[in-house]
Structure 1
Amino acid sequence: MYVQIDLDGPAGTLRVHGQGLPTVELVRAPGAGPDTHTPIGTRKAALLALSVDGEPAVIRPARGRLLRRSYRVDVRTDGVRYRLVPCGYTESRLTRDGRRIGILTCSGDARVIDEWDGEPTPRDLAVGTALAAAFGTGAAPWWETLGDIVGEMIP
C-alpha cells in the first residue's frame, strides 16, 4: 500500500494519506515556535491537534528526557489506543491496545521504514506512519544519555 507523507516541520503540519488509507493530519498550533529536536516542532500536547479520517483524536506525547520511555507518544482514536515508544537507537515499537504490531524507523526526514508483525490495518499503517514521521524514532539508552550530560559538565 502506498503511503504519502507530507511534513512541513517549520509550519508544523503533517498529512499522511494514500489510496485505501484514512487521512491522518497533525497540526502544531499557529504561532507556536518549533523546537529543533522534534520534526513536527513540539512535544506539547496542548499545541497539537490530531485528526484521523476527519475525526478528532487524542494525542499525548511524553516530554522526551532521559529514559527511552520518556519519548513515547500515545494516541487514542475510535476506541483504539496506539503507542509509539523507542526500543533501540533508531527504531520504535508501535503497539495497538498494548500489543506490539510493528517496528518503525524514521530519522526525522519524513521517510518511514516499517516492519509489521502481521498485516496492519489501514488505520495502523496511517497512524503509525504519522507518529514516526512527526516525532522521529529511536533513542539512546539512559546510561549513554547520562554519560553525555556528565561529559558536557566536565571542562
Structure 2
Amino acid sequence: MNDPDRTPTSIEDTRFGGITVHQDGQDRLEVDGEGIPRAVLERDPASEADAQIAIGTRDPAFLTLQIDGREAELKPAKGGLSRRSYRVDVEFEGVGYCLVPDSIPSSRLTRDGVHIGDFSSDGGELVLAEWREGVDVRPLDASIGYALASAFGTGGQPMWMVIVDGVSSALP
C-alpha cells in the first residue's frame, strides 16, 4: 500500500477544487479539502487484511466511516459474480448513498437513488470524479464518493465476461 509518511495525493476536482486523498496502509484512509467535509475510513487493525481491497476488508463489522467526526453507517456488499455485488452503501444523517460498478473502469455514485457522478480508481489514492450536469452536487457527495472509490476501487467486469474467463481457464 502507500507509505504513511509521504505526501497525500492531491486531486483537482472540477466542482470542489483541491482534494487530498491519503491512505495509511490498509488501516486508514482520509479525504479532505477546503470545500468538502473531512472523511475518515478506518479498518479495525485486529481484522485480517485482504490484499485485493485497498482498505483491507468488505466486512462492515471491521470498518468505521466518519464525516467531520460524525459516524456514518457503511454497508459494503460482499462481492461476487455480478457488478452489483460490489456496491457500497452509506447512510449519513438520513441520506442514502450507493457507489456501484457500472462499467469495467468506473462506478456511479447515487444519492437517494439519483445518479450524481461517476468515479474511477484502482483502489489507490488517485481518484477521478465526473459530476453529472444539471444535478445538485453537494460537498458531502464528494467526501463520500472519493472515500469509497479510494477504499474499495471502482468498476467491474460484466457477469458474462467473468463466466467466459472462468470457463476458458478451466479448459485444457
TM-score computed with the length of structure 1 as normaliser: 0.94
Question: 2:23 aligns to what?
Answer: 7
Question: 2:138 aligns to what?
Answer: 121
Question: 1:112 aligns to what?
Answer: 127
Q: In the alignment, residue 46 of structure 2 is paired with which amino acid? A: G
Question: 2:83 aligns to what?
Answer: 68
SS at match of 1:42: coil
Of 25, 40, 49 in structure 2, the residue corresponding to residue 25 of structure 1 is: 40
SS at match of 1:43: coil
1:83 shift after superposition: 0.2
1:154 shift after superposition: 2.9
- How far apart are the structure 1 equivalents of 2:61 and 2:18? 31
1:109 shift after superposition: 2.1
Partners of 1:8 and 1:40 within 8 A in 2: no
1:140 shift after superposition: 0.3
Note if 1:100 corresponds to 2:95: no
Gaps of 5+ in 1: none
TM-score computed with the length of structure 2 as normaliser: 0.85
Instruction: Note the alpha carbon deviations across 1:93-129, whole angstroms, 9 max, x for none.
Output: 0000000000110012211111101452110011101
1:19 shift after superposition: 0.9
Question: 1:57 aligns to what?
Answer: 72
Q: In the alignment, residue 31 of structure 2 is paired with which amino acid? A: V
- How far apart are the structure 2 equivalents of 1:53 and 1:91? 27
Q: Which consecutive aligned stretches of 4+ in structure 1 deviate over 4 angstroms post-superposition?
A: none
Aligned-residue RMSD, C-alpha: 1.2
Instruction: Note the alpha carbon deviations across 1:31-78, whole angstroms, 9 max, x for none.
Output: 212112111111111110111111011000001110000010000011
Note if 1:140 corresponds to 2:157: yes
Partners of 2:119 and 2:127 within 8 A in 1: yes
1:20 shift after superposition: 2.5
Partners of 1:105 and 1:113 within 8 A in 2: yes
The 10-residue stretch of structure 1 (13-22 or 93-102) with the greater mean CA deviation from structure 2? 13-22
